[in-house]
């Protein structure tokens, strides 16, 4: 089941990434590295969530987990985060080196309106890696903190992709097709959101809550029916 789940997960994340990257009208999205970005970020969040849940279950007495396994998972998470940052750096370097629209994307992220989010992501992921690779810092609380920082870093990256992708068009507009103007990222977040037509609808919030509820349900079912407790602690 795990092998099938791994293959399906990679395919799902790649399909989602291709929805973005195959839109040539958006400069930030039109990159071949969008698929690796999504897969690397999924590995970050997935490993971090596994660590948090496993450590919580071990503390509650539901799971016998050797600290050596925790250290191995922590090192894996550090590698995944570094790979994620590496892919991001490769794309930004390639986009910004020769100028043009790609340089505008890099400027938007590094010194423009989205720079606080970009540098927050870099800082969160750098601190996470530092905690995970330094043995003295790789304690149980440290691993939990590093996992949370990695998840927050991925969230910042997703925010950059979603918001930043709308800011710089890759194709010249033949004329005004809507009364709403293209968002103005130079004016900060207020200006960036001012011209956006899309806003989440109640049904979308409902779908999000439903997915989260399903995850909690599967976790509770696993705790109830899987033999997680150590044999000597069963009553």
pLDDT tens per residue, range 186-205: 656 555 555 555 566 889 89
Burial of 143 (0-12, 13-18, 19+ CB in 10 A): buried
List the pLDDT tens digit at each of the 235 positions of the chain. Answer: 778 888 888 888 899 899 888 887 788 888 889 999 999 999 999 999 999 988 998 888 777 788 888 999 999 999 999 999 999 999 888 888 877 667 888 888 888 888 999 999 999 999 999 999 999 999 999 999 999 999 999 999 998 988 888 777 666 554 444 444 445 556 565 555 555 555 668 898 999 999 999 989 998 898 888 777 665 544 4
Q: How far is residue 52's CA from residue 44's CA, in Å, rounded to a whole number?
A: 12
Query: Is residue 157 within 8 Å of residue 88, measured between CB atoms?
Result: yes
Q: How far is residue 180's CA from residue 111's CA, in Å, rounded to a whole number?
A: 26
Cα torsion at 43, 46, 50, 56 (round to 10°)?
130
The residue assigned the tokens 């948090």 is 52
pLDDT at 187: 58
Model pLDDT for residues 2-22, shown as the tens digit of each residue: 788 888 888 888 998 998 888
* pTM of model > 0.85: no
User: What tokens does 115 get?
Assistant: 């720079």
Please state the φ and ψ torsions of residue 26, each to the nearest 5 degrees: -115, 115
């Amino acid at each position: 089941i795990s092998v099938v789940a791994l293959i399906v997960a990679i395919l799902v994340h790649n399909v989602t990434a291709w929805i973005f990257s195959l839109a040539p009208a958006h400069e930030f999205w039109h990159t071949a590295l969008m698929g690796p970005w999504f897969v690397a970020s999924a590995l970050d969040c997935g490993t971090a969530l596994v660590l948090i849940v496993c450590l919580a279950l071990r503390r509650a007495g539901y799971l016998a987990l050797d600290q050596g396994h925790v250290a191995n998972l922590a090192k894996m998470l550090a590698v995944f985060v570094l790979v994620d940052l590496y892919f991001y750096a490769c794309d930004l370097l390639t986009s910004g080196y020769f100028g043009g629209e790609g340089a505008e994307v890099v400027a938007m992220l590094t010194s423009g309106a989205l720079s606080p989010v970009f540098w927050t992501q870099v800082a969160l992921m750098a601190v996470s890696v530092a905690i995970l690779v330094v043995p003295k810092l790789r304690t149980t609380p440290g691993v939990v903190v590093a996992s949370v920082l990695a998840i927050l870093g991925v969230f910042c990256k997703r925010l950059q992709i979603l918001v930043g992708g709308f800011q710089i068009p890759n194709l010249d507009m033949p004329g005004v097709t809507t009364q709403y103007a293209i968002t103005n990222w130079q004016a900060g977040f207020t200006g960036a959101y001012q011209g956006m037509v899309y806003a989440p609808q109640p049904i979308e919030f409902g779908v999000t809550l439903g997915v989260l509820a399903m995850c909690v349900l599967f976790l509770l079912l696993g705790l109830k029916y899987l033999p997680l407790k150590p044999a000597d602690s069963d009553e």
